[in-house]
Amino acid sequence: MYLPIDMLSVFLLIVVFAISQAYVNVALNKPAYQQYSARSDDRYDASNAVDGRKSDLSMNGGQCALSVSFLTATWWVNLTSIHSIHHITIYFRTENDDYMFRMHLAGRVLGFSVYVSNTTDRSQGTLCFKDDNFTINTIPSVFTANCFNHGQYVIYYNERLPGVVYPDNYESFVGTDLCEVEVYGCDSGSYGVDCNEICGNCLNESQCSNVNGTCFTGCNAGYEGDLCKTECNRGSYGYECNETCGHCRNNSYCFPINGTCLTVCDVGYEGALCKTQCDKGSYGIGCNETCGHCRDVSQCSHINGTCLTGCETGFKGDVCKLDCDSGSYGVDCNEICGNCLNESQCSIINGTCFSGCNAGYEGDLCKTECNRGSYGYGCNETCGHCRDKSYCFPINGTCLTGCDVGYEGALCKTRE
């Protein structure tokens, strides 16, 4: 079913009116200023343009902000905090007569500009509107412009610069001539038709589009998405969630804002972000374990302590913390102790016998039999008169081939 044209127009007007009413006039009764004020009293004061009164748009009605005609005209309102702006409506002075407005007043406001800024300096703000097309016949006495910006100051500005040729009907001088300036938008941090939605975690004080909540300057650390309401996925953090969590113990889950591990670091890592490997010589949870006797100056796996280049002499095991078993020594404990006194106890490092050699052996390792002709502890005893060139058993001196002629006994030291 199609609506008649007149009904459709009424419907559209109702929709537009409803939307405009959903936003708040955040300029109402806020501090205002104008350049070259017409008088020192309150009759033409800058604040008249934000007092909510607009029933009398004449010079002497006491409801308009008027300035002296000059080459520039500046007026601004301080919203007192940064606001999300949707649109701005300006009621120009008309003397309550459209003919008077177009014939005598419109030429003073043609070419005007509207800025939104965080300071009173318009050059530091954003241009919302610049009149380049209006004439005295087309400029509306009540002007509205969309202005989807954030700012604390709304600045009205006009000029007539020397040496510049302006279009027909532009007056040689400009003035304020503002009876009401309405700035519609949401308070900072809110958006939506009814301004009842809360901005997400936007960068720069939750500044978002008052229409759909999109963050203009990106998200605060720890959040992502157009609305900045989605926390970083597990395993990421920081601005735009571009940082990767460190080696956290619980599935790499870290605080989405600064990457701090919520539990502790995984084995082999330390620091708030758990991105730092254990110092050389340490390993394990919290890097609290000390590497064993690794061959390469205590270089071990920062995770489980395994010696990457093997153990120092005298030690064994993956982490090289176990002494060689009794009776062995050296690299990987592959060497066998010699004939040491007291059950083959020797140095696990170099095999030296601590308490000397058993009978029949000599040297630091006690692996060398006594020379022919000697025997006993330290090989300090001399063989007797053995038949085979004085050769005897190195442990107890017994002649292995019997005695030489004229001697008897096990050691062949007794004459017949």
Which range, of 88-102, 227-241, 247-261, 395-409, averages the lowest pLDDT? 247-261
Residue type, 11: F
Phi/psi-derived region of residue 15, left when phi > 0, alpha when psi is between -120 and 50, beta in every other case? alpha
For residue 251, what pLDDT is reported? 67
Q: Is the pLDDT of residue 213 over 90?
A: no
pLDDT of residue 7: 42
Report which of 225, 109, 87 is spatially closest to residue 176, judged by C-alpha positions: 109
Domains of the chain: 5-188 (2.60.120.260), 290-323 (no CATH), 326-369 (no CATH)
CA dihedral 236, 238, 243, 247 (to 10 degrees): -60
Residue 368 pLDDT > 70, yes or no? yes
Quote the pLDDT of residue 143: 98
pLDDT at res. 297: 65
Residue 387 has what pLDDT?
A: 86
- Cβ atoms of 289 and 300 within 8 Å: the answer is no
Q: What pLDDT, on a 0 to 100 scale, did the predictor assign at position 263?
A: 83
What is the chain's length?
416
Q: What pLDDT sits at residue 390?
A: 63
For 28-48, what is the mean pLDDT?
Answer: 91
**Residue 187: what pLDDT?**
73
Contact assessment for residue 191 and residue 212, using Cβ atoms and an 8 Å cutoff: yes
**Highest-pLDDT range among 9-13, 35-39, 179-183, 357-361:** 179-183
| Other residues' Cβ atoms within 10 Å of the Cβ of residue 29 | 11
The listed range with the strongest mean pLDDT (6-15, 99-108, 266-275, 277-286) is: 99-108
Instruction: Determine the Cα–Cα distance for residues 112 and 378; give it in Å rounded to an integer.
Output: 116
User: Where does 300-416 show beta strands of DSSP type E?
Assistant: 315-316, 322-323, 328-329, 335-336, 361-362, 368-369, 374-375, 381-382, 407-408, 414-415
Helix, coil or strand: residue 116 = strand
Confidence grade of residue 205 (pLDDT, cut at 50, 70, 90): low
- Over range 344-366, report the average pLDDT: 87
Average pLDDT of the residues in 325-332: 87
- Identify whether the C-beta of residue 291 lies closer than 8 Å to the C-beta of residue 298: yes
Nearest to 210 by CA among 81, 14, 30, 23: 23
Long-range contacts of 98-106 (CB under 8 A, 24+ apart): 98/141, 101/141, 102/136, 102/137, 103/136, 105/177, 106/136, 106/139, 106/169
From CA 162, how far away is CA 132, in angstroms rounded? 18
Token pair in block for residue 92: 């120009």
Residues 345-349: what's their mean pLDDT? 86
Q: State residue 177's pLDDT score.
A: 95
Average of pLDDT values for 317-321? 90
Statement: residue 206 has pLDDT above 60 = no
Q: What is the pLDDT of residues 243-257, one digit of tens each?
A: 999 998 876 678 999
**Section 24-29 average pLDDT:** 94
Nearest CA to 107 among 68, 134, 142? 134
Q: What is the mean pLDDT of the chain?
A: 88
Q: Coil, strand, or helix at residue 244? A: strand
- What is the reported pTM? 0.54
Say if residue 216's pLDDT is above 90: no
Distance CA 160, CA 176 (A): 13
Per mean pLDDT, which range of 15-19, 151-155, 383-387 is the poorest? 15-19
